[in-house]
Amino acid sequence: QHCVALCAKGLVCEADTLGSHGYVYLAIYPTPATTS
């Protein structure tokens, strides 16, 4: 859960594009997503 908040800052734009799927995406792949 902590990673979600941290990764959310880096994936805020991508998560917004994916919509609800963005939340699940960063929740499943927090590390690789943050790297990108």
Query: Would you state the pLDDT for residue 26?
Result: 54
Helix (H, G, I), strand (E, B) or coil at 11: helix
Per-domain residue ranges of the chain:
2-35
**What are the residues whose beta carbons fall under 8 Å from the beta carbon of 11, sequence distance 6 or more?**
22, 25, 26, 33, 34
Look at residue 34 in the predicted model and tell me its pLDDT: 53
Helix, strand, or coil here: 31?
A: helix
What pLDDT score does 5 carry? 60
Indicate the pTM of the whole model: 0.16
The candidate with the shortest Cα–Cα distance to 22, out of 31, 32, 12, 9, is 12
Residue range 1-36, pLDDT digits in tens: 455 565 656 655 555 555 555 555 555 555 554 555
Cα–Cα distance for residue pair 4/30, rounded to 1 Å? 7
Residue 12's pLDDT is what? 57
